[in-house]
Amino acid sequence: MSDPGASEHGASIAEQAAELGLHRVGARENFFRYLVITWQRRDFIWHMAQFRMSASFSSNRLGMAWLVLQPIFDALVYGLIFGLLQGNNRPPDYPARVVVGVFLFSFFRGSLTKGAKSVISKRSLVQSLAFPRITLPFAVVLQELLSALPAWGLLFVIMPIMGHFPNLRWLEIFPVFLLSVLFNTGVALIAARATVHLEDMSELLPLISRILFFTSGVLFDVSAIFDKWPQVVIAFDFHPIYQMVQLARHALMGIAVDPAYWIYFSAFSVLVFVAGLWFFWSAEERYGR
């Protein structure tokens, strides 16, 4: 039989701990307190992102030059292949379209695939130290953002060479970049938790990333390819990655887009970001097991 005195004693200890502001080791903080603690760890996020970025290129002879070379090679190879395959369906100003699309998508792809492994790749750290685990996917997205900045800067050099000169509309690219950061961070958080529960997801994500790359309008004109299927064209109006790419093309190339894309992509970005925060936080106690 259980000892009533023991349960009363245990209850009194719990009550005293609560009064003193003590909590169980590894216990999850409430959501808003968790975000405050994460903000207090911003230096940790920054230094981890810098370290990961330096470490990823330390063994390469060209080092950080790959930050620019990789998206350029992707744009050249995929643009050439898909440009030939499309034939007469290839849209005007195709090289500039591909460059903008590939450069924007590269940031998304890195956030998705590397963010998914951000927790499981640091399992020993997660199991040995107490800190908000959300700092790990945050550091990955920050690393990808820092890695993307040289390529994005190169866009402002490439576009005039392709006949698109600076104008006031170019300022619209900055809110596009900001919204892409929110969206990609939310995607990374969701993928990070999903991979903790099902590690095989980390093997599937590169395939998912490639499927998204080839089906998000990065390399083709949606209206030209699907002109016989208007329902498909309408569906793309609610495709966040397509919206991101089209808004960037509008800013840098003047391509006409539905103004509602700003509303849709803003809503998608905020919704995915908030959902990612909540989804990741709700399993905080499980990451260290």
pLDDT 10s digits, 256-284: 899 999 999 999 999 999 999 999 999 88
Q: How many CB atoms lie within 10 A of CB 109?
A: 20
Range of the domain at 86: 41-286
Q: How far apart are CA 160 and CA 252, in angstroms?
A: 10
Q: Is 17 a member of any domain?
A: no
Task: Report if residue 147 sits inside a domain.
Answer: yes
Query: Is the residue at 224 inside a domain?
Result: yes
Tokens 């695939």, located at residue: 113
Helix then strand then coil, in percent of the chain rounded to 5, is 75, 0, 25
CA nearest neighbour of 96 among 34, 163, 141, 150: 163
8 in any annotated domain = no
- Please state the domain count of the chain: 1
The answer to whether residue 31 sits within a structural domain is no
Any domain includes 172: yes
Residue 112 within any structural domain of the chain: yes
pLDDT in tens, 14-53: 555 455 554 554 567 889 999 999 999 999 999 999 888 7
Q: Which regions of the chain are under pLDDT 70? A: 1-27, 57-64, 66, 288-289
Residue at 24 is within a domain:
no
Residue 159 vs residues 26, 48, 101, 178: alpha-carbon distances, Å: 51, 33, 13, 20
pLDDT of 189 reads 96
**Which residues have C-beta within 8 Å of that of residue 142, sequence separation ≥ 6?**
45, 46, 49
